Amino acid sequence: MAIRVIVVGAKGKMGSETVKMIHSDDELQLVCGVDSALNGTDVGEVIGLGPIGAPFVNDLERALTDFNPDVMVDFTTPQSVKRHAQLAIHYRVRPVIGTTGLTQADIEELSQLAEQNKMGAIIAPNFAIGAILMMKFAQMAAKYMPEVEIIEMHHDQKLDAPSGTAIKTAEMIGEVREEHRQGHPEEKEELEGARGAFYQGFPIHSVRLPGLVAHQQVIFGSEGQTLTIRHDSINRTSFMPGVNLAIKKVVKLERLVYGLDKLLDE
């Protein structure tokens, strides 16, 4: 039997992608969408799918009680997400939260609530499963091949370098790699900056060019061999396999899991 899902924020960019993803998977069923400004209209008609038999409901509490959902997916705002999650757990509907903005204290509080109620719950700031796997593998590889460099490549309108993903990857590598400065001790930069930015002794390089979107490779070297882990992302649909996974996993959990990477071990 299909997992019954409601999507809060179903009209938004991520929300409507989620509706499309659910609609195309026989193991999932959208029972309603939630949007304060819409009521009764078919969700599919609003987002351009044509009628799909699931209405918009303008009140979350009613969606949670009248439609008998198993899972609530939330892509809304930092202001409302905490209350949404509390309500869902209260009505024994497992929350899958992609909205960012929850504090450490919020997460802790929701985690206790989930545990008391033996309910599954998932909060994930990044649903791009390929990126999550890249970071996880990079951390695993660093234990055995501690000489590493990161090359991240983005479009040339990006302001910050290195990217957030590169820094997150570097931190995860740093947790398992004994800190040491790479390269020959007498290495010399003829042009300053050539060897990149050093994080705990290993370099990160940032490439910015038109025609690129969001790419990263992590290269590990040891005697006679290199291992490269690379992720290429071209658009927002890349988050959907991660949301799909979260919906299917959360119904089997009895506690809150933070971060899609933790989910991969379950």
Give the nearest distance from C-beta 14 to a copy of itself in angstroms.
Answer: 13
CB 58 within 8 A of CB 82: no
| Cα separation, 18 vs 189, whole angstroms | 48
| 93 close to 60: Cβ distance less than 8 angstroms | no
Active site residue 154: yes
Q: Closest Cα to residue 33, out of 13, 5, 14?
A: 5
Residue from 237, 254, 255, 259 in contact with a copy of itself (CB under 8 A): 237
Q: Binding of a copy of itself at residue 1 (CB under 8 A)?
A: no
CA dihedral 132, 137, 138, 139 (to 10 degrees): 90
Asked whether position 58 contacts a copy of itself by CB under 8 A, the answer is no
CB of 260 to a copy of itself, least distance (A): 10
27 binds a copy of itself (CB under 8 A): no
User: 86-115 mask for a copy of itself (x: CB under 8 A)?
Assistant: ------------------------------
Instruction: Give the Cα separation of 260 and 249 in Å (integer).
Output: 10
Does 75 engage in binding with a copy of itself (CB under 8 A)? no
Binding of a copy of itself at residue 236 (CB under 8 A)?
A: yes
Which residue in this structure is represented by tokens 């398992």? 176
Coil, strand or helix at 42: strand
Binding residues are 9-14, 98-100, 124-127, 155, 164-165
Answer yes or no: 158 catalytic: yes
Helix, strand, or coil (residue 62): helix
**What residues contact residue 248 under an 8 Å CB cut-off, 6+ apart?**
3, 27
| Interaction between residue 219 and a copy of itself (CB under 8 A) | yes
| Distance separating alpha carbons of residues 231 and 165, to the nearest angstrom | 11
Residues 143-202, interacting with a copy of itself (CB under 8 A): 144-145, 147-149, 151, 153, 156-162, 167, 182-184, 186-199
Q: What are phi and psi of 225, to 5 degrees?
A: -155, 155
Contact predicate 153/215, CB 8 Å: yes
Is 212 one of the binding residues for a copy of itself (CB under 8 A)? yes
Q: Verify binding: residue 250, a copy of itself, rule CB under 8 A.
A: no
Eight-class DSSP state of 238: G
Q: Which is nearer to a copy of itself, 48 or 186 (CB)?
A: 186
Binding residues for (S)-2,3,4,5-tetrahydrodipicolinate: 155, 164-165
Which one of 20, 23, 84, 154 is the catalytic residue? 154
By CB under 8 A, which span of 45-53, 57-65, 83-91, 128-136 interacts with a copy of itself? 128-136
Would you please indicate which residues are annotated as catalytic (active-site) residues?
154, 158
